[in-house]
Amino acid sequence: MSTDKKDLLLEVGTEELPPKALASLSQALETQLCAQLDDHELSYESSSRFATPRRLAVLLKGLDLKQPDRANLRFGPAVSAAFDEDGNPTKAAQGFARSCGVNLNELERSQKDGVDKLSYSSVNMGQQTSTLLPEMLKTVLSQLPVPKRMRWGSSRDEFVRPVHWLIVMLGESVVPVSLFGIESGSNTRGHRFMHNEEIVLDQACDYEEKLATVGKVVANFYHRLALVEKLVTEQADALGAQAQIDQDLLQEVTSLVEYPVALTGNFDPQFLELPPEALILALKSHQKCFCVVDGNGQLLPKFIAVSNLQSKEPARVVEGNERVIRPRLADARFFFETDKKVSLADRIPDLDRLRFQDRLGSVRDKTERVKKLAQWVAEQIKADATVCARAALLSKSDLLTQMVGEFTDLQGVMGYYYALNDGEAAAVATALNEQYQPRHAGASVPATLTGAVLAISDKLDTIVAMFGIGQPPTGSKDPFALRRSALGVLRILVEKELDLDLYEAIKKSIDTFSGLELEKDCSDLVFEFMIERLRAFYADKNIASEIFQSVLAVRPTRPLDFSQRIEAVNCFARLPEAQDLAAANKRVANILAKHGEIKVDRVDPKLFEQENEKSLHALIGTKEEDVLPMFQNGDYTAGLQALAQLRDEVDAFFDTVLVMSEDPAVQANRLALLQSLRNLFLGVADISHLHKS
């Protein structure tokens, strides 16, 4: 490595860091440190980040040891203004010399914008990296995204956890930095139990290898994550089974260990009588264990735990995990058996005790609104309104169960099991689980029609409710997850091909809020909000913004219809005729905008003066007969492809016909002809938005 470059190592050693924030803290540390270096014009070859429960670190390879020198050229007054007629310097020249800190004879003359001016050349010497680092690191560490900072001892310093050691090294040398009351050094620390000693680093680049070989610490978070996954998989393979590796759990376990060791334990097979989701969540939430399934996907009475050390007596470690897991599963079984003694229907009156929102009443009030809306939605899309109403009525009863009280992630899931236990229809039980789908971005939508109706109704009620009391999402704040709910409704309608008028559904939802005055224009506000979710949805699918805008311009209120128009315009935009027709539509729109809307029935063939008027009018009539049935059947793609054949006739019209004729009657007739042309395309979208000027 060049002598003007060295590796930089920053390590902050702490007490145990919050596991769910570890990966994001590590990424932020690297990102912000690199940003600081960029701001100070210090280049580096590569960067690596490290994170374990007790440390955050960044290693930068090939960092400049010094900022580059910067040449400066300052311009002063014009030479003509710098000296008088006798050649003596004016006050302007003398003032410029003083501001540069030099004598007048040290100034030069340079041209700027064709004018000779006094100038002064200087060089700003770059500072040493070691001199800049202390302030840079203070800035970086103070800006980490820590939701709640801690103080410790008598110090006023704050950080995510108390800091115990600090390394700042450039190559072989320690950079003197004082942070959190600790002076930087070259000593890191090994595993808390397997090598609870200081480890002296001879140079920054030794960090990862020395921690691994001497300290028994796998410092790289993603190397450790891959190792955890590999070890868990190997344990399952040894059983002839398969581990259920939940990615969130994998991340959390990786954040809890520095030296992962996977071990397999057993639990009483009687606990397999629990709903599998409840059993899995109990093992995952309380003990951070991975479940195991057989070749048929059935849970086995086994678990895989990841320990943070290589024990001399692994059987004792397994035994300890088994001893702790048993009462956890026993609690879950107790909750399940106790909950089944009271039906979901019998719990409905107690929903009055749960507040949905202060101004919006109880959860029971919400279920009554959702029931009414679900019946209406079911009628619109030909679903069973009676079954949908029953599902809506029972939809929130499981919130009162002990199992959901312990594991909130099981809401809906436990409703399914309790509904089956109560003898409810299978469609009702399934809908209780599906009401929360899609549960996150990219997740599946409800598989059943009843579930889709309940999910739409529940989400729409929440959105209308919050907009109705003037609490829409603002900036990054969305406590009721309205954006996710809106996208969920839209995805369900589009992916399940449900032809529901969203605007009418919003108005129907508003009607269910009896006795509560909602915000004026609530229906319009909610509709605009939800349609804007579609913009992001299609952007993720790489649909150009101008295509979305062309459909939005004609304001379709049925999301399925909106989607079909988007697909049609997307196909049309690839045709060779598309840009010419888009340009023509843009021209027509501009002409008509200056003269107001023209009634199409004013087109009078007797007023045609040129053949191109006649031929365009005839072709428009033919295309109307061809494409209007297509549009009525939702076959927008075929309709637009048929309209693409208008290009040559439209081009010929504009080449030969003067629209703004001096004869008012002829002019109005030509404008009406253009209006009829434009109306044809507006049956799908305003393709003028596709024009790329």
Overall domain count for the chain: 5
CATH number, domain with residue 440 = 1.10.3210
- CATH number for the domain including 597? 1.10.730
Specify the amino acid at residue 161. Answer: R
Side-chain-facing half-sphere of 35: CA atoms under 13 Å: 11
**Residues forming a β-bridge with 182:** 179
> Is residue 1 predicted with pLDDT exceeding 60?
no
Measured between its terminal Cα atoms, the distance across the chain in Å is 52
- 617 domain residue, yes or no: yes
Pick the last residue of a domain from 339, 354, 378.
339
What is the CATH classification number for the domain harbouring 137?
3.30.70.260
For the cut 90, the answer to whether the pLDDT of residue 411 exceeds it is yes
Report residue 386's pLDDT band, with 50, 70 and 90 as the boundaries: very high
Same domain, 445 and 301: no
Instruction: Looking at the structure, tell me whether residues 165 and 19 fall in a common domain.
Output: yes
Nearest to 11 by CA among 152, 256, 208, 143: 208
**Based on the domain organization, do 505 and 637 belong to the same domain?**
no
Tell me what percent of the chain is helix, strand and coil, each rounded to the nearest 5: 55, 15, 30
Mark whether 195 and 140 lie in a shared domain. yes
> Which residue carries 């800091």 as its tokens?
163
For residues 430 and 355, membership in a common domain is answered with yes
pLDDT band (50, 70, 90) for residue 428: very high
| Cβ–Cβ < 8 Å for 58, 168 | no
Considering the domain boundaries, does residue 145 fall inside one?
A: yes
Same domain, yes or no: 84 and 155: no
Say whether pLDDT at 14 is over 90: yes
* Separation between Cα atoms, residue 675 and residue 169, nearest integer Å: 74
The predicted-structure confidence for 590-603, as pLDDT tens digits, reads as follows: 777 777 655 556 78
pLDDT classification of 166: cutoffs 50, 70, 90: very high
What is the C-alpha separation between 1 and 375, in angstroms, rounded?
73
Q: What 3-state class would DSSP assign to 122?
A: strand
Is 547 a domain residue?
no
Phi, psi dihedral angles at 184 (to 5 degrees) = -65, 150
Does residue 557 belong to any structural domain of this protein? no
Asked if pLDDT for residue 124 goes beyond 80, the answer is: no
- Best CA proximity match to 427, nearest among 403, 392, 396: 392
In a domain, 587, yes or no: yes
Tell how many helices (H) and how many strands (E) occur in the chain.
26, 18
Q: What is the mean pLDDT of residues 46-57?
A: 96
Distance CA(126)–CA(67), nearest Å, equals 4
Q: What are phi and psi of 209, to 5 degrees?
A: -65, -40
Question: Is the per-residue pLDDT at 348 higher than 70?
Answer: yes
Give CA separation, 630 vs 578, 643, 668, in Å.
19, 11, 30
Kindly report, residue by residue over 230-286, the tens digit of the pLDDT: 999 999 999 999 999 999 999 999 999 999 999 999 999 999 999 999 999 999 988
pLDDT of 544 higher than 80 = yes
Task: Give the pLDDT score at 24.
Answer: 94
Cβ within 8 Å of residue 26, ≥6 positions away: 49, 50, 51, 56, 221
247-256 vs 22-39: helix axis angle to the nearest 10? 70
Q: Which residues pair with 63 in a beta bridge?
A: 6
Q: Is residue 578 part of a domain?
A: yes
For 273-332, how does the pLDDT look when each residue is reduced to its tens digit (9 = 90+)?
Answer: 999 999 999 999 888 999 999 999 999 999 999 999 988 899 999 999 999 999 999 999
Mean pLDDT throughout 540-563? 90
Q: Report the pLDDT value the prediction gives residue 257, as an integer from 0 to 100.
A: 96
Residues 45, 173, single domain; the answer is yes
Quick one: tokens of 255?
């954040």
Task: Tell whether 533 is covered by a domain.
Answer: yes
Range of the domain at 98: 70-124
- With a cut of 60, say whether residue 161 has pLDDT above it: yes
Instruction: Identify the domain boundary among 104, 124, 144.
Output: 124
- Picking from 373-377, 402-406, 519-523, which range would have the lowest pLDDT averaged per residue? 519-523
Verify that 149 and 253 share a domain, yes or no. no
Examine the domain organization and report whether 318 and 384 are in the same domain: no
Same domain membership, residue 134 and residue 110:
no
With 60 as the cut, is the pLDDT of residue 552 above it? yes
Residues above pLDDT 90, as percent of the chain: 61
Mean of the per-residue pLDDT values for the chain? 90
Same domain, 453 and 580: no
For residue 2, what pLDDT is reported? 52
Cis peptide before 147 (omega within 30 of 0): no
Beta-carbon contacts of 304 under 8 Å, excluding residues fewer than 6 positions away, are 232, 235, 236, 243, 262, 263, 264, 265, 289, 290, 292
Q: What is the DSSP string of 200-225?
A: E-SSGGGHHHHHHHTS-----HHHHH
d(CA 448, CA 458): 15
One domain, residues 328 and 355: no
Residue 552 lies in a domain: no
Q: H/E element holding 578? A: helix 578-593
Of the three residues 475, 510, 542, the one that is the final residue of a domain is 542
Asked if the model's pLDDT at residue 362 lies above 80, the reply is yes
From residue 622, alpha-carbon distances to 360, 576, 618 in Å are: 55, 22, 6
